[in-house]
Structure 1
């Protein structure tokens, strides 16, 4: 008997309906279905099924990390870059999984630590408020709160000063996240099988406006300089606000996200399909 976690998009009726159908299908075959709430994952789960789009996949992975539970993504969204099958193929995919006919693709994640400057908060607050830890599959984003002002961020690599960015924000993405917000901001596409980090400025108000591809063993420190506060976004979810003196430290995480697949995924062909690049020549 297998224990299967279910995460579905709460605003999609089709995903909710498929979740109920999946629960019945599993119970008929003497498996255990578990709806995953906000408390996170049970380490005894054999599989997590995500019913939604890429956003639902990110929520599912956030719930289970650092547990090495594989995730099967079912696409109910428009892009579905991280998902493996469509709703009609779900039960066939599960039959293959239970038969052992599947592969697991490991994706690098980001380890993120936020340290609040003690001078900016009430000293009565506990150390748990001063320091926060997050894990991201796609990206970390530091983004301005006010439309009329840029933020200023001192960037350091391995504790060495690099540059003070003046921009609408900064994106630090994993290879998986290089096709998400970073791509929209002009960043490069990086193969998801690589281990690397990509630093991309958002609308920089400075001469240097290029992305940087960093080694996975580098540590990136982002310290808020004098100026307006900013929001911290982890995989598209707003976590907290940072102000002058607050430091965000990011590095490659030792824990990977594990995505279920049923064939060798050709990254370049998937990219062509998802971005509508079917012609051999751009513009056709």
Structure 2
């Protein structure tokens, strides 16, 4: 039985605040300790989630991804309640949440583990580390020209792509930017990685699936500048000589699920009609 949960929301969305207050009241009436706060405040999220059994995230896809990235190192499962267009990460709507309060309290759910990426950005003497849930993108950024991106797999040069960008995605990210770029959909708990070019120029425009333990290194193969983006939020400028190293993280993102394990296939069928 649940004893301690965190409820995190998008503070600028009135519906999210209302639903957060509602679930707080319902949980407290059932004897559950509830901590509630702004899901976009890093300090708040880390403080509220550190000793909780479950996190309820209310907002759009961006909010749910943001909260899931922060909750993952703490090992706390997330229930995504999507207040916008229902995506693949959030199986819950507010009305579904209202019907599942007792299931939450009694822990009648299973945990789905999503692969994450460790990303290391090298730029001169600067070394930065990031944790990604969806993908890492090396793109042309705001420039109008294509970029030349060299991809190295486990230390061996694989190919140089001339494209608007190159993505390294997880199974979670396979239903996001990679899907929009023409990539395939992977099962949520797949541990493999996906390399997908974005609008390739004079190049075979196909995604490639690589083993989950592959280390992928991306760099610019010409003096044209580019941009690195992690989950569409953390961005850094790239110049020739910079490298972006990507590998599967030991950290996984956990999502609490109520529907049967085969839910994903019916979700795909419904969204692709």
Distance 1:105 1:75 in 2: 17
Deviation at 1:226, TM superposition (A): 2.3
Partner of 2:87: 80
What residue in structure 1 maps to residue 6 of structure 2? 5
Moved more, 203-212 or 100-109: 203-212
Contact conserved, 2:27 with 2:34, CA < 8 A, in 1? yes
> Is the 8 Å Cα contact of residues 47 and 69 (structure 1) preserved in structure 2?
yes
Deviates more, 1:8-17 or 1:254-263: 8-17
More deviation in 23-32 or 260-269?
Answer: 23-32
Q: Distance in 2 between matches of 1:228 and 1:135?
A: 26
Provide the C-alpha distance between the structure 1 equivalents of 2:86 and 2:27, rounded to a whole number of angstroms.
27
Q: 1:66 aligns with which of 70, 73, 86?
A: 73
CA distance in 2, matches of 1:156, 1:142: 14
Divergent runs of 4+, >4 A: none
The CA deviation at 1:263 is 2.8
Aligned to 2:112: 105
CA contact (8 A) 1:108 1:175 kept: yes
Q: 1:9: Cα distance to partner?
A: 2.5
Normalised by the length of structure 2, the TM-score is: 0.91
Go from structure 1 to structure 2 and tell me whether the alpha carbon gap of 1:190 and 1:218 turns closer, same or farther (over 3 Å shift). same
Contact 2:138 2:149 in 1 (8 A): no
Q: Name the SS for the 1:65 alignment partner.
A: helix
| Equivalent pair of 1:47/1:70 in contact (CA under 8 Å) | yes
Question: Equivalents in 1 of 2:171, 2:96: separation in Å?
Answer: 27
Matches for 1:162-177 after TM superposition, within 5 Å: 162-177=158-173
Gaps of 5+ in 2: none
How many residues are matched? 265
Q: Note if 1:268 corresponds to 2:265.
A: yes
Q: Which residue of 2 aligns with 1:38?
A: 42
Greater shift after overlay, 25-34 or 54-63?
25-34
Please list, as runs of the form range in 1=range in 2, the aligned pairs for 1:136-175 lying within 5 A after superposition: 136-175=132-171
User: Structure 1 length normalisation: TM-score?
Assistant: 0.87
Query: Unpaired runs of 5+ in structure 1?
Result: 119-129, 278-284
Q: What aligned pairs does 1:149-228 form with structure 2 within 5 A after superposition?
A: 149-228=145-224
SS in 2 for 1:109: strand
Q: Secondary structure at the match of 1:14?
A: helix
CA drift at 1:147: 3.8
Shift of 1:194: 1.5
